[in-house]
Chains A and B, each alone.
Chain A
């Protein structure tokens, strides 16, 4: 009886307080600062993944019907890489960075020392529940912090699995998983953290930041936005299409913060993108037997062609597509799709299976700008194509909206590339591909404006969970009396030249040759 009551115990403000107190005690005792501790935790995480891959894949299948390949690669393999990189480079990252000193503080030496922030809170999302939970944790461990991880309740199988595995493999006096929904998250947000990292949507992000403001806690917010893809003419359309498909439906069926949300192309070219294949067989033939140049000339590339090749004639039955996560999101997506002025614009797909929460890859052409689907982040398998007269008009279209997490452009035109890079403000840009910048640990991954603040991945994760402490070492020699009162004009002259940094100026002032 007693144990049942224990199990049902509510995780309330007091429980949250206790957790933070325990972690803070561990942090203050110096447990997490120790290099060996960080190393063993990261190694334990690798072991956790090595020994539980089938269970992780199964949990992801439960929560999202995620295809095994997506789970193995985008969740597990990427995480392993992140872990290995941290293990390899951590010592180097932890080293103080020398800083230059100037004449003004001569003689002195300076450095910037990385220190952990303390006790940090990581709130992750449901779409890549494994990756988005543990990738930030890797950074937090590498930087020497104690951590609470709050996985999303919308992916409950993964959340439970995480709670179990982290408790079994990692040091629970320093790293804890708290499962739950709104009440538990609210209880956690009431506490004082040294950093909060939140991955999710803008609405909750505002709540997180407002809660953080009470304690002056710095935050990293990894949000989303409508990631546009500009498709120029004169490119290898087949490759572009495939890369767009891989980034859209190949990434959790469009439910990813960096999934291409919509396409912008010129009116003429749009037809190329969606033209009915004359013979699907030709596509097959062409794909495996002819060169890319020939493909281009044949111009049979199209979304319909490629989508059929990837997912078959009945995509609702394809095992290579995630499902829509739950009925809420399913209803939300149908609302976008079934809006009057939108449903008539479907050029491919549109099929849905409510009982299995599946929506087929759907392409729409020329939906009105004021439709719902063009005014909120889609986060699903619907891909609108907007047409404009000149490809340059796409930049204004994008900048008229809020800044997205990513923006993509397919073009061979150098000038257009330069304009794109210059004009479009987004977290990250990729030219001639989609989403792959995520896998590049030397690039900071984060948003700007409505798509978020702060960045991580690679060393940026380590930095984001560190305080970069400035340290200045001075000696007793060289104590210039001009620093101290009583203040005189002579001192003023000398001070001016010292701050001006020129040795000649200083000599002149010392000799009394310069004017005040």
Chain B
């Protein structure tokens, strides 16, 4: 493994990844990989997570194709140095900021979107001109194998490598020196990654999670808006990998008096989307493995929590399936309300007044996303200024992920750093400042021995008081 990394470093040093044509060729090859292997990708996702092709396309294949295409079309623009303004005092001078690759980067991806979370950062790293080691999650083994076998067939092996393995491989990789580490996963492992990075002063981007709330304030508008709200909530909870997503809706906040109407709407929508009961469940992913299954089942073990179930609750251990489950006001100190759920259980918390949702959200750590279904402009402003999250999405769920112009990342416990679109390019670049100066004219007061004249000269210069400088030089100002 150390040999592989040495090879990556050598490739980088020799400039193998610098040229725009290399980067473009790799991105095009990645696009080809996706296009030519769509079926295998769908198959692997079905095997690991029970994802349907539509979900797989929508959340993984389609997203990646869009990302590569967008990057290819913008790459030349992003790579170009940006001019920076220079004040007259420095004349003649030229200042610019030039993005440069960081070097050899390590990407850790997660199991829930095994293609998107591995290849989207990879797109950023390649576009910025780095060499990359990708470590996909072994908890999605079919997808990991696919990546290990297929990437070398399309991409430049001297610059991009994929390594299979579990936590032990991950630990070994963390002992080595990288120029950047990009990690998607849980806060617990995020801490370990950052602590290991600290030893080498390696900058990191941590894409973590949190309890993403959805504030529901649109049930008493029109029936059609209420319906759309319900659809978007259901689509945003069980749509992405059956709730096993960092940006899935974790819990709902709604006014007491509207709770039952909401539950009815949700039930109807769930049945229409996914089937009447656990036996006829379709168009929904399964739980990834036994460990996660048990964890979720345990969340429901607490009798007070179990009592609050108003829909669903059935589980099928053999098939690793838990049906979409709604809970109404489980105890606030229960695990289901303090841990990130990451599964198909949806607690609804009722409040006397919807404005209380702001305090409720602030009582928990900063989530990756806050969803708010409301048409009240004042309330929207309050949510924006009084809460903190990676992103805020009004009147929808999940779609912010598709917006290449919005930075995608967390704040506080949900992580730091961001990517998507140009932010991916930036996250894997170093922005180098460059100042070009001429030899003339020479400003004598820059140099010792120091005198009062020189002091005053420089003071005026620093204030860009050109008129004052002229006066000083003409002898009309005294020091």
Residues of B within 8 Å of A112, CB to CB, are 406-407
Contact with A along B411-441 (1 / 0, CB 8 A): 1110111100000000000111111111110
Contact between B399 and A108, CB atoms less than 8 A apart: yes
Q: Whole-angstrom distance from the CB of A102 to the nearest CB of chain B?
A: 7
Do B199 and A442 have beta carbons less than 8 Å apart? no
Of chain B, the residue at the smallest CB distance from A471 is B392
Which of A67, A206, A214, A440 counts the most B-chain CB atoms under 10 A from its CB? A440
With A104-B66, A310-B449, A448-B102 already in contact, the answer to whether A442 and B85 are too (CB < 8 A) is: yes
CA distance A449 to B103 in the complex (A): 9
Name the residue on A nearest B53 (C-beta): A492
**Are B393 and A472 in contact (CB-based, < 8 A)?**
yes
Pick from A194, A470, A479: contact of B407, CB under 8 Å: A470
User: Do A428 and B283 contact each other (CB < 8 Å), given the known contacts A68-B455, A77-B459?
Assistant: no
A475 to B399 alpha-carbon distance, docked (Å): 12
Q: Quick check: A469 and B391 within 8 Å, CB to CB?
A: yes
**Which residues on the B side are within 8 Å of A312 (C-beta)?**
449
Task: A118 to B411: give the CA distance in the assembly, Å.
Answer: 11
B473 close to A (CB within 8 Å) = no
Instruction: Assess A474 versus B395: contact at CB under 8 Å? Given A110-B405, A484-B231.
Output: yes
When distances are taken between beta carbons in the complex, the residues of chain B under 8 Å from A487 are 52-55, 283
Say yes or no for B213: interface residue by CB 8 A criterion: no
B78 interfacial contact with A, CB 8 Å? no
Contacts of A422 in B (CB 8 A): 18
Write out the residue numbers on chain B whose beta carbons fall within 8 Å of the beta carbon of A72. 455, 458-459
| Cα distance, A428 to B218, chains bound together (Å) | 51
Residues from chain B with Cβ under 8 Å of A28 in the complex: 362
A28, A118, A218, A495 pick with most chain B CB within 10 angstroms? A218
Contact between B54 and A495, CB atoms less than 8 A apart: yes
Contacts A216-B190, A474-B393: A236 and B439 contacting too (C-beta < 8 A)?
yes
Q: Is A452 an interface residue (CB 8 A)?
A: yes
When C-beta atoms are compared, the residue in chain A nearest to B431 turns out to be A444
Which residues of A in the span 468-516 have a Cβ within 8 Å of any Cβ on B? 468-476, 479, 483-488, 491-492, 495-496, 499-501
Instruction: Find B225's partner among A100, A102, A471, A476 (CB 8 Å cutoff).
Output: A476
Instruction: Report whether B437 and A436 are in contact in the complex, using a CB–CB cutoff of 8 Å.
Output: yes
Given the complex, which residues of B lie within 8 Å of A202, measured CB to CB? 201
Query: Which of chain B's residues have a CB closer than 8 A to the CB of A427?
Result: 432-433
B side interface size, CB within 8 A? 104
Least distance between B362 CB and chain A CB atoms (Å): 8
Interface string of A96-132 (1 = CB under 8 A from B): 0001111011001010110101100000000000000
Q: Is the CB of A334 closer than 8 A to any CB of chain B? A: no
Q: Name A275-331 residues within 8 Å CB distance of B.
A: 292, 310-312, 318-320
Residue of A nearest to B273 (CB): A485
Main secondary structure of the interface of A (DSSP, over half): mixed
Contacts of A421 in B (CB 8 A): 98, 434
Q: How far is the CB of B390 from chain A (nearest CB, A)?
A: 7
Contact of B95 among A78, A212, A216, A443 (CB under 8 A): A443
Asked whether any CB of chain B lies closer than 8 Å to the CB of A397, the reply is: no
Among the 9-residue stretches A162-170, A179-187, A239-247, the one with 4 or more Cβ atoms under 8 Å from chain B is A239-247
Whether B408 and A492, one on each chain, are in contact in the complex, defined by CB atoms closer than 8 angstroms, is no
> A437, B455: Cβ atoms under 8 Å?
no
The distance in angstroms between the C-alpha atoms of A455 and B433, with both chains bound, is: 10
A246 touches B194 (CB 8 A): no
**Cβ A99 vs Cβ B411 within 8 A:** no
Query: Nearest Cβ distance between residue B153 and chain A, in whole angstroms?
Result: 24
In whole angstroms, how far apart are the Cα atoms of A234 and B396 in the complex? 64
A416-475 residues at the B interface, CB under 8 angstroms: 417, 421-422, 425-433, 436-437, 439-440, 442-445, 448-450, 452-455, 467-475
B191 touches A216 (CB 8 A): yes
Q: Is the CB of A216 within 8 A of B413?
A: yes
Asked whether, in the complex, the Cβ of A73 is within 8 Å of the Cβ of B458, the reply is: yes
- A236 vs B441: C-alpha distance when bound (angstroms): 12
Distance, CA A453 to CA B54, complexed state (A) = 41
Say whether chain B's binding surface is mostly helix, strand, loop, or mixed: mixed
Q: Which residues of B contact A471 (CB under 8 A)?
A: 384, 391-394, 406
Are B394's CB and A472's CB within 8 A? yes
Output the least CB separation between B281 and chain A (Å). Answer: 10
**Do A496 and B62 touch (CB < 8 A)?**
yes
Chain A residue contacts of B282, Cβ below 8 A: 485-486
Please give, as numbers and ranges, the residues of chain A lying within 8 Å of B66 by CB-CB distance: 104, 499-501
Do A209 and B197 touch (CB < 8 A)?
yes
Chain B: minimal CB distance from A390 (Å): 19
Min CB gap B376→A, angstroms:
13
Cross-chain contact A223 with B201 (CB below 8 angstroms) = yes
B83: nearest residue on chain A (CB-CB)? A442
A99 CA / B407 CA spacing, docked (Å): 10
For the complex, give the distance between the alpha carbons of A425 and B195 in Å: 25
- Whether A499 contacts B63 in the complex (CB less than 8 A), given A113-B384, A484-B231, comes out as yes
Given contacts A68-B455, A472-B406, are A428 and B54 in contact (CB under 8 A)? no
Given the known inter-chain contacts A104-B402, A468-B407, please indicate yes or no for A428 contacting B432, CB distance below 8 A.
Answer: yes
Whether B57 lies near A492 (C-beta < 8 A) is: yes
Instruction: Report if A486-B283 is in contact (Cβ < 8 Å); known contacts: A104-B66, A235-B439.
Output: yes
Pairwise interchain contact B389-A213, C-beta atoms closer than 8 A: no
Of residues 28 through 71 on chain B, the ones whose CB sits less than 8 Å from some CB of chain A are 52-55, 57-58, 62-63, 65-66, 69
Asked whether any CB of chain A lies closer than 8 Å to the CB of B127, the reply is no
Q: Are A472 and B411 in contact (CB under 8 A)?
A: no
Docked Cα-Cα span, A488 to B283, in Å, equals 9
- Minimum distance in angstroms from B448 CB to a CB of chain A: 4
Most chain B CB within 10 A, of A72, A115, A117, A469, is at A469
Q: Does A250 contact B (CB under 8 A)?
A: yes
Q: Which A82-101 residues have a C-beta within 8 angstroms of B?
A: 99-101
- A contact residues around B6 at 8 Å (CB): none
Q: Which residues of B contact A233 (CB under 8 A)?
A: none
Residues facing B in A343-402 (CB within 8 A) are 399
In the complex the two chains form, is A473's CB within 8 Å of B394's CB? yes
- For A431, list chain B residues within 8 Å (CB): 434-437
Once the chains are docked, how many angstroms separate the CA of A475 from the CA of B18? 43
Interface membership of A172, Cβ < 8 A: no
* Contact yes or no, A469 B52, CB < 8 A: no
For A495, list chain B residues within 8 Å (CB): 54, 57-58, 62
The residue from A99, A310, A399, A432 contacting B447, defined by CB atoms under 8 A apart? A310
Within the complex, which residue of B203, B228, B440 is in contact with A292, where a contact is CB–CB below 8 Å? B440
Chain A residue nearest to B52 (CB atoms) is A487
Q: Measured between alpha carbons, how far is A428 from B432 in the docked complex, in Å? A: 5
Q: Does chain B have a CB within 8 A of A205?
A: yes
Partner of A443, one of B52, B84, B405, B411: B84
* Given A440-B90, A492-B54, A430:B435 Cβ within 8 A: yes
Q: Mark A181-220, 1 if CB is under 8 A from B, else 0.
A: 0000000000000100000001001110110111010100
What would 16 A/B residue contacts be, using CB atoms closer than 8 Å?
Answer: A77-B458, A214-B191, A216-B194, A429-B433, A429-B434, A433-B437, A442-B85, A443-B97, A443-B435, A454-B203, A469-B391, A470-B392, A470-B406, A471-B393, A476-B395, A485-B239
Query: Lowest 9 A-B CB distances belong to which pairs?
Result: A485-B283, A487-B54, A209-B198, A213-B194, A428-B433, A443-B433, A218-B416, A470-B406, A474-B396
Known contacts A449-B102, A449-B201, A471-B394, then 17 further A-B pairs from the complex at CB < 8 Å, ordered by chain A residue = A33-B385, A73-B458, A77-B463, A81-B463, A102-B403, A105-B400, A216-B412, A422-B18, A425-B432, A449-B179, A468-B418, A470-B406, A473-B395, A484-B273, A485-B283, A496-B62, A499-B62
